[in-house]
Amino acid sequence: MMRGPVEMTGLLRKKSGPGGARAVPTRGVTTVQTHFRFLGSRYAAFAKLLKLARVCMFTTTLATGTAALSVSGARAGGYDTPILYSAGHMGLGGAAIAYVDDPSAMFHNPAGLMGTKGLTLMLNATLILGSITASPTEFNPNEDSEGLTALAPLVGVSLDYNDVVAFGVAFFPVASAGGEYLYTDAGSQVATRNFTSVKFLELSPGVAFKIPGTGLSIGAGYRIDFVTLGRYLGPQKSADGSPTFDVEMKGTNFTGFRVGLQWQPIKELQLGLVFRSHTRTTIEDPAGVVLLPDERKVETDFVLPAKLGFGARVNIDPVALVLDLEYGLYSQNRKSTFKADPELPITIQNVFDWSNALTLRAGVEYGYLGHWFFRGGFMYDGQVSNEQYPSAFGTPPTSTITLTAGVGYKHGDDWKLNFAFAQRFGSTKVERGTPDQTCLPCSANGDYSLTMSGLYLDFTYAFPHIFD
């Protein structure tokens, strides 16, 4: 997400319930029916059907929108996490489309591979901490999530073969959503655990070319995405009944790509363009629990929308000014349906109805003695999620602001070390009137807020003369 969710708790263990390995006690029917009575006031049309099945319908938001691992905390737009990589660029508000000279180019702009020297190795560690306030259910408004914690690494290597062509590969979380709420359900009076974790992990090899005499570089990256969803909704103690949701779903997508270019017409000016393609990944759990207590095959789709970005960097030694504008085509994500085999007694749709949005990143860098670099940055992230379909697991349906600062040290052409800090925040109040009943998992009216802090450290080592 997240603009939507913020991911940051770990993956669920396979079929793990609140007390370890999941049991499905028959006595849980009493708790399940109590949950259903709570929902019956909103979904009366399904009451008779679910009474006959002797199960509940107690669902809340599935992760709409990580960050990201994407962690991301918190998503920037949709599942995208706007405060991810890397330390050197996050100090500048994350702006990197026009200039990047390390393997993180596979995330920012693959044309930047031409800025690397010889053989370059990079390791970035991102630690994101945060919390969400939301309304998971109609009768549990304004709940605070458990603390969100995520570690998002980026590992990459690049090879500048002959100043005309360069290769690179990197692995990193690219998006995420999620959170965890522990509360006493107002309908059943049962201590409830409400947990979601969505992660998009990406492996991206790429290549870049420089057109001699033009200052123009062109790059492309192939994206292999690994998507996981962990979802648990039910009693904190297995003795109190069976869960409404207990799934660990996963899937892989091989259709994504990222293309970009960078152009430096004069020494003082650098420009960049980058495009990331839309992907749709089918994820499944062959033995999931959804509504009914027996295990069944469950599947759904996750969409990571396309994005288009433009960047500029102005170099006025010893100062550099950077600006990135990203336009996310988030309206590509409208809704997803949970499919089950055997079929469920009702259709469960997760409605997103996201809007396209703009992300602005800006920063300033001051170089001292050619070795030390001091940075400050700002980020504005436009609203993506729809107030009619809010999520308790991510960024509120509003815009967010991020402030960043960083410092770096560069030792000649061989190694550099960077550190950065980011603070992201946003809040709103959701007052929808009568909720749209087509989205059963959506959250309720109430206060929604997000606070996230990011700590970043990256180290890059180059062998610039490996081919000399």
How many Cα atoms sit within 13 Å of 115 on the Cβ side? 22
What's the Cα-to-Cα distance from 122 to each of 106, 154, 159, 406, rounded to whole Å?
Answer: 12, 8, 12, 18
Contacts of 297 (CB under 8 A, 6+ apart): 284, 285, 286, 287, 288, 340, 341
Helix, strand, coil tally for the chain in percent (to 5): 10, 55, 35
Domain locations along the chain: 16-463
- At 59, list the tokens: 């669902």
Residue 13 has a pLDDT of 33
User: Which two three-digit tokens encode residue 373?
Assistant: 């670099």
Q: What's the confidence (pLDDT) of residue 437?
A: 59
The pLDDT of residue 435: 59
pTM: 0.82
Asked whether the beta carbons of 126 and 107 are under 8 A apart, the reply is: no
Angle at 84 between CA 81 and CA 88, to 5 degrees: 150
Side-chain-side CA neighbours of 4 within 13 Å: the count stands at 38
Distance CA 229, CA 303 (A): 13
Q: Which pLDDT does position 137 carry in this prediction?
A: 84
Model pLDDT, residue 78: 67
* 259 torsion bin: left (phi>0), alpha (psi -120 to 50), beta (else): beta
Burial 16-55 (b: 16+ CB within 10 A, else e): ebbeeebebeeebbebbbbbbebbbebeeebeeebeebeb
pLDDT along the chain (468 residues), means of 10: 36 38 35 35 35 31 30 51 92 96 96 94 95 88 90 95 93 90 88 93 97 95 97 92 93 98 96 97 95 92 96 97 97 92 88 93 96 97 90 89 98 94 94 68 87 96 83
* pLDDT for position 75: 42
Q: Of the CATH numbers 3.30.2350.10, 3.40.50.10490, 3.90.470.20, 2.40.160.60, which one belongs to the domain with range 16-463?
A: 2.40.160.60
